[in-house]
A and B are shown apart, each in its own frame.
Chain A
Amino acid sequence: MRCESFLDRYDRLDADEEPGVLLRLHLAACPECRAKVALLKEASASYLAAVSASDSAGPIGDLVEDRIMVAVRLLPKPKRELHARDWAVSGFVLVASVAIIPFDPNFSLIKELFGTSYSLSLALVLASTLTVFGGVFIATHIDELEPILKRYMPHA
């Protein structure tokens, strides 16, 4: 590998990314590139140090921290939101539970005792439960669902 090509590929590495085998081989064999890489690393590290030093000597300091905490004490306490994945799992369990009810032996027994009027009431209750669950899910995740709706219904 030529030194020019090495430096070109080395410069494309991400922060803290380890160079690949070819780059390491060249680095091991070429003292000039080794020195250049060391200098570049040193320069980047010293830049970071300069920035960090300017951070600690920032013009704003403790005043902002106090202002933030005063405002935080006035705000309602944040609550952990249920993630969409948890909602999906709960919904799946709910639908699966509804789907297996007709296959339950107890259900057949109850159906025999109370007739079809019981089935209709049960179906209405289960359908209402699923509708409420779906409605609450959409209402609480409208921001996350918006891009999906836009993708599949661009004119909506």
Chain B
Amino acid sequence: MKPGILLQLVSFFGLLSILSVGGSNSVVPEMSRKAVQTEHWLSADQFTDLFALSQAAPGPSNLIVALLGYQVAGFWGALAAQLAMIVPAAIVMVLVSKVWVSTAGSRWHLALEQGLTPIAIGLIIASGWTIAEGSGLDIPGYALVAACTVLFWKTRINPIPVLALAGVIGWLGLV
């Protein structure tokens, strides 16, 4: 394996890490441009497959980076790309967290926290909506969404068996 390609992965994803304001999905178009059009690491269809795979797999939303690194340079490519995607943004977040925690209890902190709360709730509902729009679900699928929403909202049921049951319902072709 060539060290040059690892260096290229680290410098590209290290830069994207800092640019990924609003979440790592905001820089997916940039990844696609680099990986598919500029470097020809993989085809556009392959990129779409890897994106779907990374979304279905458990874990944070930026795991597509590991898949791209793997495609380019095997295991060490995956590790180098993933670390480069995590570390720069993580350093920024640690610094901001320290300021946020150390000002807890001050009036501006409380006002900001209270002001952010309803906005965050609106954005959470919006993110569920966005996933639903892109999921290709039909009417029975949305009925399952509605049933799960009410169940999880009104009870403290463990979600894992419910999600497993939803998987079986999908497997049976009911949604």
Q: Determine if chain A interacts with chain B.
A: no
